[in-house]
Amino acid sequence: MIRLLSIAIDCISSIIFVIPAVIVLRYASFRKRNFKELIAIIIFAFYSIAVFSVVGIPAVDTFNVNFSFNLIPLIDIVNSPLEYIKNTVLNIILFMPLGFLVPAIWKRYRSVKTMVFMGFALSVCIEILQIFTFRLTDIDDLITNTAGTVLGYYISKRFSFQLPFKSADTKESSIPYEPFVVLAVMFLIAIFLKPIVSNGMWDIVLSSSWWEKIR
């Protein structure tokens, strides 16, 4: 419950930054303006914010260096098999929308090699950033996150390639790697801008009468 509340607060507190940022990016990238694609990119942007919230991307005021690493694949399954399986499933589910949304919106990303690279690259960035949090930097997360991206890609290939979005990689585009740019902008918002609003929202929540009921 608290985890869901935290994700909700992060997403809500990002609205005033995310929507204007996506609109600026979208209109800077294309001469033609497609409302359906704009909405799809906004959904992708908020998904990115939610992922950064779930994996614990640190805010600029909470950086705390912690060199905790697991570089041996599958070792945790011996110590805690049920917990390992649960985390594996959740990581796969978390990254499936990445593999689904990106090829659905951007035609040039409709290849499994491209999505493997994208899922792996995003996972590497997240794991590096977790050095600055209380979380463990874990090689298993790289594997499961990439697997989730690939699974989402194949689901997208089956169901969403025909969605009525204008391709985001036509000659009208001035940003050839737009999904990476969107992810980078959302990452900066999550670290530097979101805390401006979310800290105030947490103050309201923590001082409310129903906080003790949901703890």
pLDDT digit string (tens) for 20-40? Answer: 999 888 777 654 557 888 899
Model confidence band, residue 165 (pLDDT cutoffs 50, 70, 90): low
Cα separation, 176 vs 35, whole angstroms = 20
Residue pair 41/105 in contact (Cβ under 8 Å)? The answer is yes
Q: Which residue has the tokens 């890609």?
A: 153
pTM of this structure: 0.89
Cα separation, 101 vs 55, whole angstroms = 19
| Pure H helices in the chain | 2-29, 35-55, 76-79, 81-105, 112-129, 139-159, 178-188, 194-206, 211-214
- In eight-state DSSP terms, residue 58 is P
Residue 61 pLDDT: 79
pLDDT digit string (tens) for 95-139? Answer: 999 999 999 888 889 999 999 999 999 999 998 888 887 777 888
Sequence length of the chain is 215
Q: What's the mean per-residue pLDDT of the chain? A: 85
- Report helix, strand or coil for 69: strand
Cα separation, 178 vs 213, whole angstroms = 43
pLDDT digit string (tens) for 178-204? Answer: 899 999 999 999 999 999 999 999 998
Task: Calculate mean pLDDT across residues 147-173.
Answer: 72
